[in-house]
Amino acid sequence: MRMVNQFLSKVPFDLYELALFHLVVKHRSFTKAAEIAGLTQSAITRQMQGVENSLGLQLLERTTRTVRVTPAGEYLFHEAARLLGDVEQSLTHLAQEFAGARKEVRVDVSRTIGLAYLPGFFHANLRRFPHLGYRVTCQSSGEILAALEANEQDIGVLCPPSRLPKTLRVTHRFEDAFTLIVPKDSAPAGNALSKPKTRIDWLKQQNWLLIEERSNTGQQLRAWMADQEWRMEPTMQLDNFDLIINLVALGMGASFVPIRALALYNQKRNLLRVPLPARFTRQLVVAVRKHRKMPVHLEQFITNILF
């Protein structure tokens, strides 16, 4: 008990103040944070000054237009995200297990994953556990990893970077093969595209629709294209393969897309798959936080995922 009393006497702020600090940094604005928290700007400013005085550290640099965060503030912001997420999730699990609240699975799916993949993620679980709820969002891989670390999401489905954060682990891996598609009406007649030189010359003249280069898939695809000596500059970059497939079918250009993403497209007669000697493949993963004990309904959902 004495150790607890000593700890409490030295705590520089409480969870409420930590949540206010997180709001200020997240929105880079005292005004926006005050609006969300239902406080005046002067009140939230005093709260932040109190936290800084208690810590003996400057966390925020105030300017007339925005809020800059010091290195100490950035560190506390990321730690706060994890702590606040853990508290929120503990309260959610408490309500679900002991107060009869509906159990939910929060799933974050990368924008570069097409609609054709989703039945494999949800179908079996929907059939076996019809009373379970779901919150499904679509973000970039970087945003998904940050949300998992902050415990804002339970499960992420994404093309991962070369190294995952140490707080996360992978439960599933799936090799996702790509194919080259072009508008059928614009392709040369006969078997012309089966000849390497004719194929390259023709493809160099096409508009290229490629997945956004800042995405993990985009970076890996461009590295593979460079290895194959495919030096095509994209006419258009997009963050969604379903949209790319539709645009290719409308005659707007050529693209590399996941073979599986073509499954839901009912106008395949407008597309031509061009055979290539080498094939690009990416890896998709299901990522979760490293929990001491994962709730049963999350374990069941992960077990029921099908690729």
Residue 6 pLDDT class (50, 70, 90 cuts)? very low
Q: Is 177-281 in the same CATH topology as 101-174+284-303? A: yes
Q: Which of 188-197, 203-212, 226-235 has the lowest mean pLDDT?
A: 188-197
Instruction: Return the percentage of the chain with pLDDT > 70, whole number.
Output: 93
Average pLDDT of every residue of the chain: 86
In whole angstroms, give the CA distance from residue 159 to residue 215: 9
Average confidence (pLDDT) over 66-77: 88
Whether the pLDDT of residue 158 is over 90: the answer is yes
Model confidence at 190, pLDDT cuts 50, 70, 90, reads low
Give the start-to-end residue ranges of the domains of the chain.
2-78, 101-174+284-303, 177-281
pLDDT of residue 219: 95
**Predicted pLDDT at 292:** 67
Query: pTM, whole model, 2 decimals?
Result: 0.77
**In this structure, what token pair is assigned to residue 300?**
């069941």
76, containing H or E segment: helix 71-98
Q: Provide mean pLDDT across the span 96-112.
A: 86
**pLDDT confidence band for 67 (50 / 70 / 90):** confident
**What homologous superfamily is domain 101-174+284-303 in, according to CATH?**
Periplasmic binding protein-like II (3.40.190.10)
Percentage of residues in the chain having pLDDT higher than 90: 40
What class has domain 2-78? mainly alpha
Span 136-140, average pLDDT: 93
The Cα–Cα gap between 287 and 153 comes to: 10
Q: Which residue has the higher pLDDT, 80 or 60?
A: 60
Average pLDDT over residues 77-105: 79
| Statement: residue 65 has pLDDT above 80 | no
Torsion, Cα 164 170 172 174, to 10 degrees, reads: 10
Query: Mind listing the pLDDT tens digit for each residue in 250-291?
Result: 999 999 999 999 988 766 678 989 888 899 999 999 999 987
Please give the pLDDT value at position 214. Answer: 93
pLDDT, position 150:
84
Please compute, for residue 13, the number of CA atoms within 13 A of its CA located in the half-sphere on the CB side.
22
Q: Is the pLDDT of residue 7 over 50?
A: no
Q: What is the arithmetic mean of pLDDT over 172-195?
A: 84
Give tens-digit pLDDT for 24-51.
888 888 888 889 988 888 888 888 888 8
pLDDT at 2 over 70: no
CATH 3.40.190.10 holds for 177-281: yes
**Using CA of residue 294, residue 298, residue 299, residue 300, what is the dihedral sign?**
positive
Say what the pLDDT of residue 235 is.
94
CB atoms within 10 A of CB 100: 7
pLDDT of residue 267: 65
Instruction: Give the per-residue pLDDT at 1.
Output: 46
User: Which whole number is the average pLDDT over 98-123?
Assistant: 89
Whether 162 has a pLDDT exceeding 50, the answer reads: yes
The pLDDT of residue 168 is above 90 = yes
**Planar angle of CA 21, 287, 108, nearest 5 degrees:** 65
Are β-strands 104-110 and 168-183 bridged in parallel, bridged antiparallel, or unpaired?
A: unpaired
